[in-house]
A and B are shown apart, each in its own frame.
Chain A
Amino acid sequence: MSELITIFLLFFKMGAVTFGGGYAMLPILRREIVENHRWMDEETIMDYYALSQGLPGIIAVNVSVFIGYKRKKAPGAFAAALGVVSPSIIIITVIALFLANFKDNLYVRHALAGISVCVAALILDAVLSMWKKGVKDKFGIAICLVILALSVFTDISPILLVVACALLGIGKKSLDSKGSSGSGKEAAK
């Protein structure tokens, strides 16, 4: 039970300090899950992002549910989901009902401008760290750069890109293992 509360509070915190979408949550997620709690490694979190991108729903919620499930099965999944949405429900309700001109407030706009500069720097730091952990060979470099270019310059759906890259990964690995006979994965089994 106590770990469920920890999961809820952790994701509550995440929801309360994230500005922007699911990717803006990544720097805080890494800090809390990988470094502070040591629940899983950075690669696992990247895998969850990849899967979340291709599944229905909000990416931030999907990633939270994956992590919650990994810790404490279905109860952990629900604790994480409730945690990450609760701050939004509270904050947005207050604003929608009582602060009609919140978004036009000058102080709010200055503070937000400062926060977004900071968030950009945090995401850059996260991208560099992911590059180090997840892009390990020429194949990875090619995939990463092509996906970056396609996402910036075309309207191709990210879901399509994610599915294509999963298939490319499978294709590349099976071509590789044709060259060398026994694969390491089977031996580990």
Chain B
Amino acid sequence: MIYLKLFWEFLKIGLFAVGGGMATLPFLQRLSVQTGWFSQDLITDMIAVSESTPGPIGINMATYVGCNIAGIPGGIIATIGEVLPSVIIVIIVSKSLERFRNSPYVGSAFYGLRPAVTGLIAAALIGVLKVAVFNFAAFQASGALPDLFDLVKLALFAAFFVLIRKFKKHPIVYIAAGAVLGLVLQL
């Protein structure tokens, strides 16, 4: 019964992979080795496709692998299996948050957590900037500083930032504009 096994394997990934979508990657690699359901090559494809389509990367990867193992039902089952543990865990955490809402410890913990999350997201931003705006890989390969800067992308980044701050339109508007400009400017 492949569907049942698939569900079980992704349930385990959803339960043990802590820290977001990319944290599921080592588990998927192990799944490939242990079960032989899909090849290591598929993992590279999986990352490329998951990053270049809308939706959380972790979900995209689960659907992609499931789909390649057992067709359309496989993709659905793998995804639901991976998500189910966190839905249950988050509900439990929410319930206990409600109960301890008035505890001074919860407030103090968040007092430390909010700046921490800001730092974590700033770090994620640097990761995105290295790939999307700067040619960090080319710079590392050549060591020549001019290789780091792509003036068109830098200008576009600055323009987007000013427009976002100034007009405060819905992010979808800017994302759509980004796609069109990417095509026009052949980024």
Contact = CB atoms under 8 A, between A and B. Distances in A.
Interface string A1-34: 0000000000000011111111111111001000
B37 interface: no
B91 interface: yes
A168 B112 contact: yes
Q: Which of A25, A26, A59 has the most CB of B within 10 A?
A: A59
Contacts of A26: 121
**Interface of chain A: mostly helix, strand, loop or mixed:** helix
A185 B102 contact: yes
Nearest to B170: A31
Interface residues of B, number: 94
A157 interface: yes
B58 A60 contact: yes
Contacts of B115: 134-135, 139-141, 143-144, 147, 165
Interface residues on A, range: 35 or more
Interface string A163-189: 001111110111001000001011011
Interface SS of B by simple majority: helix
B172 A28 contact: yes
Nearest to A99: B49
B104 A158 contact: no
Contacts of B87: 61, 65, 77-78, 81
Interface in A143-158: 143-148, 151-152, 157-158
A118 to B, nearest CB: 3
13 contacts: A61-B56, A62-B86, A87-B54, A95-B53, A96-B75, A103-B49, A107-B183, A110-B186, A112-B182, A120-B129, A122-B175, A148-B122, A167-B109
